[in-house]
Structure 1
Amino acid sequence: MPEIEVTHVGSLPRTQEVVDFIFARERQEPCDQAAFDAAMTKAVSGTVKRQVDAGVTIVSDGETSKISYATYVKDRYTGFSGDSPRNAPADLKLYPTFLKRLAESGGTPKYARPMCTGEVRPKDNGELEKDIANLKAAMTAHGAPRGFMNAASPGVISLFLQNDFYPSRVAYLAALADAMRAEYEAIVGAGLDLQLDCPDLALSRHMLFNDLSDDEFVKIAASHVEALNHALENVDPAKVRIHICWGNYEGPHVCDIGMDKVFSTLMSARARYVLFETSNPRHAHEWTVFRDRKTEIPDDKILVPGVVDTTTNFVEHPEVVAQRLDRFIGIVGADRVIAGSDCGFGTFAGFGAVDPEIAYAKLAALSEGAAIAGQRA
């Protein structure tokens, strides 16, 4: 009877103390660094404990110290200043009354998105090392056997922090790949799994590349994976996870490119673990893509379908979770399936559609459902 491992995409709700510290730094207000560091250490420990208590077997630090999964790089790398243009997803533009309602209700996060205006190089500020130390200490304290840490992909950085320095998109991606390489290698070198967040492989189709055909966009996405693979050339793919999504927001999503279109590109990444959405109503049917293209899934790939949604406060019944997992177990076998979430529960600091307590209830349901699926596999 196989045991189905349980994980999630990475970000989790942050405490108010953490949010206050992060936004004080975002506003460039004076900050007591020792107090900031102590708050992050305490919060990561609490976050890991709650994951363990919920039955999560592969934990993260919840991206506690980061303002967001992509724009945190502006604080850790040189070359970013000013502000990037905002561009609402195409599906929200089709429904302006809904977009207006989101904006007026505070349903869209507000944070700095500078442009790339100079050479991108790592700063020596020790932020990554602190994150790694906090996660490893919390894992030891709370008995978590395995952990992962998120990092932005070159493609998603180029989506949110747009280029105004390098001569071309390709040159910018190459520079980002070279700059991020050390971060990726440090995470794996510390004994953690590395997760690359790559919504640029799907979300950017209806955010930045509306004027292209699907086939033209797929070529862009392939160039993003090429840059990512270059950055990962010294990293064992068995330690790498890649996450693709179409935007972690409640909305119509009628402009989302289909999984079938980006499937081959996704499978070409140097990553053993593939995390993707299968719970939300726009992509729940796409498990059939994996069924119908089973022969195109490399034998070493492990599928991590999102079997709980991250944009609603419904807590999935464990049997629903199990049934969703059953589909993928039937395709590649129980030893190549891990239970995951559609996306993160705290993609941006201080912002999330799901109540923090309900987020952990969803993780508990995820664990219970994985146990059911394992028992009948």
Structure 2
Amino acid sequence: MRRSTDRILTTHGGNLPRPEDLDALIAEGEPARARIDARVPGAVAEVVARQQECGVDILNDGEYVKAATATNYADYIDARVTGWERLPVDPAKPAKRDGVGARDRRDFPGFYHSGLWLSGSGGRVRPGFSTPGAPPEPATERVCTGPVTYVGHAAIAGDVDALKVATAGKDVDGFIAALGPLSLGAGHRNEYYPDEESYMAAVAECMREEYKAVTDAGLVLQIDEPEFATTWQFHPEWSVEDLRRYLASAVEVINHAIDGLPSEQIRFHMCWGSGHRPHTHDIPLKDIADLLVTINAGAYAVEASNVRHAHEWRVWEDVKLPDGKILVPGVVGHSTDLVEHPELIAERLTNFASVVGRENLQAGTDCGIGSRVGHPEIVWAKLRAMADGAALAAARLWRRS
């Protein structure tokens, strides 16, 4: 993973806007499978070129390959793993945990009842994403009923091949995002393994197969693990001490998943969830940052631009970024369709540089912005603004004219 040796390198969180013709094919579903598969490689080449035009240094495939088989950032994995099945909810069994925003729901019951929290940032809703007012799904839950096994080798090979072909000969680095072990397994009931520890160890070993395919190809692996922070919302009865005990064990699971893989090719992404909701009860970064940096990754991508977390750059005055590691704060976000001014982005980056060092910094987005920002034009404008802001910051940090 390249370091910011003479300028601030730029990247982003994951999904990007898809071409309208690819979206139309995806909306057709399985009848269009052959046409989707034929279109994806060209679409990946197009989105790689578009990112490079916007000034992105560490870029991806827009998550187009995953989008061709999934309805959201996590569902792509369903076709790549076995061991779980959907079963009717048993009302006699208590839920394993509460839902998204459980703490906020107490203070904003009218907002949650309205269904507004399901919407995006006020813009379009892309095909394949759930919409307010849609018929409720049957009451089922995902349960582990057999050995957890990775069977997605052909699928991840397709991800890798499409990105490597699209980036060949270009002065960029490629990254592929993959679901974290907590997001895959922690929320689902285990009815196969003798205990939660062995269950999550199996989940970690399963995901290592996907992670290894990415790093073996020489690409940067981004582990998407919003649950590192959002677990606080799932357990409103917990104290901070309870959460920290859980996260200490979660770090062991994550490190088990990447054991033996090159840390310099691994970027760990955490956020407070992309839902457009109040977020007044997000766990403060100061309460978990010291645990975050014990994950054996080369870089940590942290949501940092939205109005609940933009002030938290000061946390890194007290929590030392380990030697040789990189911090990738979000300096543009998915929580607003307003395009951040390059001067604001430069200010954010110079703030972070003042506490972690300019060479240990990259500019990123809070999360994947392709499905949460209202229109593709805004997404590309945000990425261009990020590159312009990074250039302004570099001029100041390296004292260039």
Q: Same fold (TM over 0.5)?
A: yes
Aligned equivalents of 2:279, 2:303: Cα separation in 1: 13
> Which segments of 5 or more consecutive residues in structure 1 lack a partner in the other structure?
none
Aligned equivalents of 1:291, 1:154: Cα separation in 2: 30
The answer to whether the 8 Å contact 1:54/1:364 transfers is: yes
User: In the TM superposition, what is the alpha-carbon distance from 1:45 to its structure 2 partner?
Assistant: 1.5
Q: Counterpart of 1:317 in structure 2: which amino acid?
A: H
- Aligned to 2:223, the other structure's residue is in SS state strand
The answer to whether the 8 Å contact 1:13/1:352 transfers is: no
How well do the aligned residues superpose, as a CA RMSD in angstroms?
2.4
Partner of 1:258 in structure 2? 284
Residue 332 of structure 2 corresponds to residue 308 of structure 1: yes
Aligned equivalents of 1:345, 1:104: Cα separation in 2: 17
Residue 356 of structure 2 corresponds to residue 332 of structure 1: yes
Normalization by structure 1: what TM-score? 0.89
Partner of 1:110 in structure 2? 130
User: In the TM superposition, what is the alpha-carbon distance from 1:354 to its structure 2 partner?
Assistant: 3.2
The answer to whether the 8 Å contact 2:186/2:200 transfers is: no
Residue 158 of structure 2 corresponds to residue 138 of structure 1: no
Aligned equivalents of 2:178, 2:34: Cα separation in 1: 24
Q: Counterpart of 2:112 in structure 1: which amino acid?
A: L
> Which segments of 5 or more consecutive residues in structure 2 lack a partner in the other structure?
90-94, 132-136
Aligned equivalents of 2:259, 2:337: Cα separation in 1: 40
The answer to whether the 8 Å contact 1:198/1:243 transfers is: yes
User: In the TM superposition, what is the alpha-carbon distance from 1:216 to its structure 2 partner?
Assistant: 0.8
148, 154, 163: which one pairs with 1:126?
Answer: 154
- Aligned to 1:253, the other structure's residue is in SS state coil
Residue 343 of structure 2 corresponds to residue 319 of structure 1: yes
The answer to whether the 8 Å contact 2:153/2:210 transfers is: no
Matches within 5 A, 1:22-41: 22=26, 25=29, 30-41=30-41
Deviation string 1:88-129 (CA, Å, 9 cap, x unpaired) is 312145313222333597559439974333221122561111
Aligned equivalents of 1:363, 1:149: Cα separation in 2: 18
Partner of 1:371 in structure 2? 391
- Aligned to 2:150, the other structure's residue is in SS state coil
- Aligned to 2:51, the other structure's residue is in SS state helix
The answer to whether the 8 Å contact 2:271/2:303 transfers is: yes
User: In the TM superposition, what is the alpha-carbon distance from 1:87 to its structure 2 partner?
Assistant: 2.1
Q: Counterpart of 2:147 in structure 1: which amino acid?
A: E
The answer to whether the 8 Å contact 2:303/2:309 transfers is: yes
Partner of 2:300 in structure 1? 274
Residue 217 of structure 2 corresponds to residue 177 of structure 1: no
Partner of 1:62 in structure 2? 62
The answer to whether the 8 Å contact 2:117/2:275 transfers is: no
Structure 1's 303 and 131: CA in aligned 2 closer, same or farther, altered over 3 A? Answer: same
After the TM superposition, which of the residue ranges 183-192 and 73-82 deviates more from structure 2?
A: 73-82
Matches within 5 A, 1:353-368: 353-368=373-388
- Aligned to 2:267, the other structure's residue is in SS state strand
User: In the TM superposition, what is the alpha-carbon distance from 1:369 to its structure 2 partner?
Assistant: 0.2
* Number of residue-to-residue matches in the alignment: 365
Structure 1's 223 and 51: CA in aligned 2 closer, same or farther, altered over 3 A? Answer: same
- Aligned to 1:202, the other structure's residue is in SS state helix
The answer to whether the 8 Å contact 2:22/2:39 transfers is: yes
The answer to whether the 8 Å contact 2:13/2:366 transfers is: yes
- Aligned to 2:64, the other structure's residue is in SS state coil
Aligned equivalents of 2:308, 2:225: Cα separation in 1: 19
After the TM superposition, which of the residue ranges 78-87 and 300-309 deviates more from structure 2?
A: 78-87
* Larger Rg over CA atoms: 2
Partner of 1:100 in structure 2? 113
Aligned equivalents of 1:124, 1:177: Cα separation in 2: 15
Normalization by structure 2: what TM-score? 0.84
Which structure carries more strand by proportion?
A: 2
